Amino acid sequence: MRVLGIEGTAWAASAAVFDAETDSVFIESDPYQPDSGGIHPREAAEHMGEAVPRVVEAALAHADGLAGGRDGIDAVAFSRGPGLGPCLRVVGTAARALAGALDVPLVGVNHMVAHLEIGRHGSGFDSPICLNASGANAHLLGYHDGRYRVLGETMDTGVGNAIDKFTRHVGWTHPGGPKVEAAAKDGGYVDLPYVVKGMDFSFSGITSAAKEAYDGGEAVEDVCFSLQEHVFGMLTEVSERALSLTGADELVLGGGVGQNARLREMLAEMCDERGAAFFAPEPRFLRDNAGMIAVLGARMFEAGDAIPIEESTVDPNFRPDRVPVTWRAEASETSVGGRNEAEEDGDPSASSDDLRGAEATVTVAGDRVEKRRLPKSYRHPELDARLRRERTVAEARLTSEARRAGVPTPLVRDVDLREATITFQRVGDADLAAALTAGRAAAVGRHLAALHRAGIVHGDPTTRNARVDLDGDRAVLIDFGLGYHAGHVEDHAMDLHVFEQSVEGTADDPERLVAAFEAAYADEGPDETLARLREIEGRGRYQ
């Protein structure tokens, strides 16, 4: 099996040859370098038009030196999306012409799924969670029910673009990421915003704060250091939350920002602490490249996923969760079932008395549950201490306030801020994730409506953060550590989005469960919240 791949979603014109027999990948790339600022779509497309023929010729010349020459090429694969439309159209045209000239089938590849699959290919992992961190993108993917599901994603800008906005502000040329990494080596800590919403995240606030800190006289080295610590801390935290939600114990990294040594260090340390395996591909497979397109293209071709020329249109908004994953065995699946672990609050029905979740150790003793937020060695000590204290205070206060608003929550029995520890009343028979029904999803919808009427945002209402009784539809909300007071429809709609994302990423029949959840919320919640939820869903990077 030999496949020629072509990549050109944004800035890198690239062609590759993947030889499955020898598991070797030849890559030739010609990146676009803007004179100033970020990527200009028209200029990038002009670059593609000039560079794609050159890199394809280099790939064909390499194929000529292999057994069978270019006649040994079995298929042409190309990046169909997501990306910049003008660039994708150049690559699509080239791929169609080349497939016709070689008289071989054409395979259209999702660029972001290729980032995941090249990590899976290189690591040998069975069913990893993937953190994609690149210029225009940032999201978490996990495999479930025949597709890669988006478990979390940026609600505004991609991680690389967020960093580039700061470097343009200080006058540095594109790309900014390597310059921030170099400057950070001589920097110290400065407080910046840290925004995690379930497994989603936002970078616009931290970028603005970094600019203000620089304008206010903070040394650029200090701002760069802190920008990395906060942004990469957020990405590492949501990666751990995804591992905890799904029960996966493998994580792969994708995207050009993954070349940053500090991000890789944080992810590796987090995985080591929780006993998970971590893999980051070599740098040539992290930045945009045709090698990953060719490798996934070969898998798709073997599975019968070649497409007719007339159906090979590109899609700038090609979401990874729209790709039927036909090249994997159904037995290989990220699942929330059959595991003895908990989200932050743990699962007191499990057999062990000491449970490790995403951010806490939970100890169950009779009718008492003690939750202690553990220090995270991957986070800067000052940032870690701040988050542990803030979240412990928020959880204790809002758990009690929610109860007074009529929402079932555990009683708070004791709080120790020095140890970031809370002792709760034990509630429920199991996590909602382990016993998710339409009636219980509806109960959560009613509870969130009551919270929002009281001006409370839960912040992290995943299926791991509700406890249920197995003999009825009663649900108890737990883990208010990311909660806060807000009466704004945007914050309320984000609560709904977080819950639905956790259902869609893990449940076998998410549509029915989400419908029950939304119907119950609509009966009691503010009318405008569901309308804003639809706006948020359309805001995702790949809609």
What is d(CA 358, CA 391) in angstroms, rounded to the nearest whole number? 13
Q: What are phi and psi of 475, to 5 degrees?
A: -130, 140
- String of DSSP letters for 428-461: -SEEGGGS--HHHHHHHHHHHHHHHHTTEE-S--
Residue 476 to residue 447: CA distance in whole angstroms: 9
CA distances in angstroms from 205 to 156, 166, 181, 231, 242, listed in the order given: 10, 12, 20, 11, 23
For residue 315, give the DSSP letter.
-
Structure tokens of 510? 């998410």
Helix (H, G, I), strand (E, B) or coil at 507: coil
List, in sequence order, every residue forming a beta bridge with 356; answer none if it has no partner.
Answer: 361
Beta bridge partners of 3: 18, 75
173 is written with which tokens?
A: 């040329």
Give the Cα separation of 185 and 247 in Å (integer). 35
Q: Give the side-chain half-sphere CA count within 13 A for 291.
A: 20
Q: Which of 164, 460, 479, 495 is catalytic?
A: 460
Query: Whose CA is closest to 24, among 417, 298, 333?
Result: 298
The angle that helices 261-274 and 220-246 make with each other, rounded to 10 degrees, is 40
For the question of residue 460 being annotated catalytic, the response is yes
Q: How many CA atoms lie within 13 A of 254 on its CB side?
A: 29
Please state, in angstroms and rounded to a whole number, the distance separating the CA atoms of residues 117 and 143: 11
Residues with catalytic function: 460
